[in-house]
Amino acid sequence: MSDENKPAEVAALVAELRAHLTWAADAGVKNLGTVAAPQKVATQNIAPQVNKMAAPVIAATISRSPDSPPRDSSPDRPMPKSAPLPVTNPPLAHGVSGSSLKTLEAVRAEIGDCTRCKLHKGRHNIVFGVGSPKARLVFVGEAPGEDEDLQGIPFVGKAGQLLTKMIEAMGLTRDEVYICNTVKCRPPNNRNPEPDELGACEPFLVGQLASLKAECIVTLGKFAAQALLRDQTPISRLRGQWRTYAGVPLMPTFHPAYLLRSPGEKGKVWSDLQQVMGKLGLQPPKKAGDTQ
Ligand code: SF4
* Model pLDDT for residues 188-201, shown as the tens digit of each residue: 999 999 999 999 99
Res 24 pLDDT > 70? no
Contact call for residues 82 and 26 (beta carbons, < 8 A)? yes
Amino acid at 200: A
**Higher confidence at residue 187 or residue 59?**
187
Res 40 pLDDT > 70? no
Please give the distance of CA 150 from its chain centroid, rounded to a whole number.
Answer: 20
Q: What is the mean pLDDT of residues 125-148?
A: 97
CA of 267 to the centre of ligand 1 (A): 34
Other CB atoms within a 10 A radius of the CB of residue 10 amount to 11
DSSP alpha helices (H): ranges in 152-194? 158-169
Q: How confident is the model at residue 85 (pLDDT cuts 50, 70, 90)?
A: very low
Res 84 pLDDT > 50? no
Helices 195-212 and 104-111, packing angle to 10 deg = 150
CA of 190 to the centre of ligand 1 (A): 15
Amino acid at 271: S
Residue 114, ligand 1, Cβ within 6 A: yes
Residue 79, ligand 1, Cβ within 6 A: no
**Higher confidence at residue 15 or residue 280?**
280
CA of 126 to the centre of ligand 1 (A): 8
Residue 200, ligand 1, Cβ within 6 A: yes
Across the chain, the runs of DSSP E, i.e. the strands, are 130-131, 137-141, 178-181, 216-220, 243-245, 248-253
Q: How confident is the model at residue 286 (pLDDT cuts 50, 70, 90)?
A: confident
Predicted structure pTM score? 0.70
* Model pLDDT for residues 210-226, shown as the tens digit of each residue: 999 999 999 999 999 98
**Higher confidence at residue 291 or residue 54?**
291
Q: Among residues 129, 130, 94, 46, which one has the least CA distance to residue 210?
A: 94
Q: Which atom of ligand 1 is nearest to the CA of 117?
A: 4
Res 105 pLDDT > 90? yes
